[in-house]
Amino acid sequence: MALTALALELVALWFQHVMLLKPCVLCIYERCALFGVMGAGLVGAIAPKTPLRYVAIAIWLYSAWRGIQLAWEHTMIQLHPNPFMTCDFAARFPSWLPLDKWLPQVFVASGDCAERQWSFLTLEMPQWLVGIFIAYFAVAILVLIAQAFKPKKRDLFGR
């Protein structure tokens, strides 16, 4: 899971710095949700058999859910442009976590949320992200349900 989120982050940076697409504020927030999924994957990989895995699942669920919300909002702005419904000019991070100051190459927005800059198979980037975040959320639910069941102990020959 962490590797897929890392791959998506690297693709986003490729789009920004190589293809010169301008990320909007919602793009930046969607990146943050992806970083949350990646962080949850790392915590789960580091401590899979400890109670910390429940923290990782909670972060995973929250990040995926927020990602769905953000990508859906972004999709609606692109599909139904409205001069009264726009996104902010700059991302608003808490004062204790100024990501745009610490890593401006990753977290500074410079684009317009309504602008369609890239599509693949007729879907825009936020539409793809809706599906990706739904997949992350569905797998997180399945992993959470699986936590209630203990695996059967078997030896090499299945006895």
- Known catalytic residue: 32? no
Within-domain flag for 156: no
Within-domain flag for 155: no
Percent of the chain scored above 70 by pLDDT? 90
Picking from 124, 104, 105, the residue whose alpha carbon sits closest to that of residue 114 is 124
C-alpha–C-alpha distance, residues 153 and 150, integer Å:
9
Residue among 32, 53, 66, 87 flagged as catalytic: 87
The token duo for 103 is 């890593």
Question: Three-state DSSP class for 147?
Answer: coil
Percent of the chain scored above 90 by pLDDT? 25
C-alpha–C-alpha distance, residues 54 and 58, integer Å:
6
pLDDT top residue among 86 and 22: 22
Q: Structural domain of residue 22, as residue ranges? A: 1-148
DSSP 8-class letter at 68: H
- Known catalytic residue: 87? yes
- Known catalytic residue: 27? yes
pLDDT bin (cut points 50, 70, 90) of residue 133 is: very high
Within-domain flag for 18: yes
C-alpha–C-alpha distance, residues 43 and 51, integer Å:
11
pLDDT bin (cut points 50, 70, 90) of residue 137 is: very high
C-alpha–C-alpha distance, residues 86 and 59, integer Å:
28
- Known catalytic residue: 113? yes
Within-domain flag for 159: no
Residue among 27, 32, 116, 154 flagged as catalytic: 27
Within-domain flag for 134: yes
Tell me how many degrees the CA angle 45-47-51 measures, rounded to the nearest 5. 130
- Known catalytic residue: 159? no
Q: What is the pLDDT of residues 67-123, one digit of tens each?
A: 999 999 888 887 777 777 667 777 777 788 777 778 777 777 776 766 777 777 877
The token duo for 64 is 């995926």
Within-domain flag for 158: no
**Pairing mode of beta strands 123-124, 119-120:** antiparallel
Would you say residue 128 has pLDDT above 80?
Answer: yes
Q: What is the pLDDT of residues 69-85, one digit of tens each?
A: 999 988 888 777 777 76
Picking from 30, 18, 16, the residue whose alpha carbon sits closest to that of residue 69 is 30
Domain count for the chain: 1
CATH number at residue 54: 1.20.1550.10
Within-domain flag for 154: no
C-alpha–C-alpha distance, residues 29 and 120, integer Å:
21
Within-domain flag for 157: no
